[in-house]
Structure 1
Amino acid sequence: MNDRRPASLGIIGAGRVGMVLARLASSAGYRVRIAGSGDPSRLGVDAIAGSVSAAWAVDVARESDAVILAIPLGRYRELPVAHLQGRLVIDAMNHWWELDGLRPDLADLRTSTSETVQRFLGSARVVKAFNHMSASELEEQARSAGAPDRKAIAVAGDDPADVAAVAGIVDDLGFDPVVAGPLAAGVMLEPGSDVFGAAASAQDLRELLAGFATSQRGILVARARGGTLPSRW
């Protein structure tokens, strides 16, 4: 796979996950732009060492080689769609009913939430990653390549080159990338799955993914889809 790793990363969402990813990306040498929900001057990115700057979401989308989405999933329709067209977009969002409310469109087991985001974003190139580990684990578990206790992060996407680029970002930020499959396979990384919340090694993560079909969540997903799961997973 061709590694088209970007030079700059944009992050839309300045909560705990967004700020942790900004710190990790800055430490890895990326130019980072981050947007919150309000005035960029109030984000306090000066506390982050390295090349991190605050900007409006439109500018983050327009000026970054790749953009990580780290806002509550229920707000995905607020994203600057026009400026994300053709852009590599990394979906780190999750559906939480406590934050998102009762949203049948986000709780439909017949599709993954990343596919819902992809349909909304049109020609953006959506890849799922960085969603199944908590902010504290992302910050505490990042390790240099080859470290014996290094943890893994799953990546799901439809374009092999985009998946390779995101896998490179995962590696740079301190984790072993594990390819889960196409974007539809992102359902295996969502809340309720055995993968979600697991700080696992690459081998253990592969085993969790391989066992999805027979897991409680996998059985529910299969029932919602007529009793079977795609063989590509």
Structure 2
Amino acid sequence: MTEAADPILRRALLLAGGAALILPAPRGAMAQPASRSPVGIIGSGRLGGTVGTLLARAGHPVLFSSRHPERLKELVEAAGPNARAGLPAEAAAFGEALLVAVPYGALPDVGKELGAALRGKVVLDACNAVVARDGAVGQAAIERGIGLASAEHLPGARVVRAFNTLGSRVLAEQAHRAGAPVAIPLAGDDAAALEAAAALVRDAGFDPVIVGPLARAPEFAMGARGYGQAVTAPELRQILGLSG
């Protein structure tokens, strides 16, 4: 994917204190109508901003959220007419599915503050545990298994681990690439939630690979063999020892 020619897309790091990555327009995606399921983004920094923009350009109504939504103006403009900004509680209520992309240490607070709104919804958990940043919460997640720990922090949500293995810049560059798409590993305990998450991964321009239940999420956690792999689905299945 080449650099954007549109000046608004070049102002990539001006919003949210330089936290978000605004990506160039993917091939043909901007022309699609807003006819798909709404998605709320909890944590609209680099990763949440990138994935949310890809979904908005694929036709999903997207509500980016922040405690200071006025800072998301340029992100919303770059994402296109399907996007708007609001508070985290608004995004949680808005989305049929949610993407949570916050520092892992903040995940318990997300569960406490938004738990009622998240209950029963598909929640894509893209949060990585970094002990130096996330302290005891991050350490506990690594010891417990990050997928199972996330489900405990978000009780009642239909949690699927997704979009945690690649950085925002790689996602921006590789979405909708020519040839075989880049694989995104998924893990979850709810078959219907996995199916919904896989559809969102495809809409964003990638190929979903279902690894298994949440107990297997550590296989593509930070530092694991499935992490950081910008490869095709068959290559990722081989790396992870998956059949098919």
Calculate the TM-score normalised by the size of structure 1.
0.82
Question: For residues 71 and 133 of structure 2, what CA distance do their matches in structure 1 show?
Answer: 23
Question: For residues 215 and 81 of structure 2, what CA distance do their matches in structure 1 show?
Answer: 35
Q: What one-letter code is carried by the residue in structure 2 that aligns with 1:12?
A: I
Q: Secondary structure at the match of 1:192?
A: coil
Question: For residues 54 and 14 of structure 1, what CA distance do their matches in structure 2 show?
Answer: 9
**Residue 52 of structure 2: which of 22, 25, 29 is its match?**
22
| C-alpha contact (below 8 Å) 2:183/2:206 kept by paired residues | yes
Q: Look up the match of 1:58.
A: 89
The alignment's C-alpha RMSD in Å is 1.7
- Equivalences for 1:19-98 in 2 at 5 Å? 19-36=49-66, 38-44=67-73, 45-79=76-110, 80-98=114-132
Give, in angstroms, the shift of residue 46 of structure 1: 2.4
- Asked if 1:143 is matched to 2:143, the reply is no
Give, in angstroms, the shift of residue 124 of structure 1: 0.8
Q: Look up the match of 2:235.
A: 204
Question: For residues 98 and 135 of structure 1, what CA distance do their matches in structure 2 show?
Answer: 21
- Asked if 1:101 is matched to 2:135, the reply is yes
Give, in angstroms, the shift of residue 143 of structure 1: 1.3
Question: For residues 105 and 98 of structure 1, what CA distance do their matches in structure 2 show?
Answer: 13
Q: Between the two proteins, what is the percent identity of the paired residues?
A: 35
- Equivalences for 1:125-164 in 2 at 5 Å? 125-143=158-176, 147-164=178-195
Question: For residues 214 and 225 of structure 2, what CA distance do their matches in structure 1 show?
Answer: 18
Give, in angstroms, the shift of residue 105 of structure 1: 1.3
Q: What one-letter code is carried by the residue in structure 2 that aligns with 1:175?
A: F
Question: For residues 123 and 181 of structure 2, what CA distance do their matches in structure 1 show?
Answer: 25
Question: For residues 150 and 117 of structure 1, what CA distance do their matches in structure 2 show?
Answer: 28
Question: For residues 79 and 160 of structure 2, what CA distance do their matches in structure 1 show?
Answer: 26
Q: What one-letter code is carried by the residue in structure 2 that aligns with 1:90?
A: L
CA-to-partner distance for each residue in 1:95-153, whole Å, 9 max, x for gaps? 12232135431231xx3212112112221100111111111111100116xx4242110
Give, in angstroms, the shift of residue 48 of structure 1: 2.5
Q: Which runs of 5+ in 2 are unaligned?
A: 1-35
**172-181 or 49-58, larger mean C-alpha shift:** 49-58
Q: What one-letter code is carried by the residue in structure 2 that aligns with 1:106?
A: A
Q: Secondary structure at the match of 2:237?
A: helix
Question: For residues 136 and 46 of structure 1, what CA distance do their matches in structure 2 show?
Answer: 19
- Equivalences for 1:208-219 in 2 at 5 Å? 208-210=239-241
**44-53 or 26-35, larger mean C-alpha shift:** 44-53
Give, in angstroms, the shift of residue 154 of structure 1: 0.8
Question: For residues 209 and 156 of structure 1, what CA distance do their matches in structure 2 show?
Answer: 13
Q: What one-letter code is carried by the residue in structure 2 that aligns with 1:8?
A: P
Q: Secondary structure at the match of 2:184?
A: strand
Calculate the TM-score normalised by the size of structure 2.
0.78
Q: Secondary structure at the match of 1:148?
A: coil
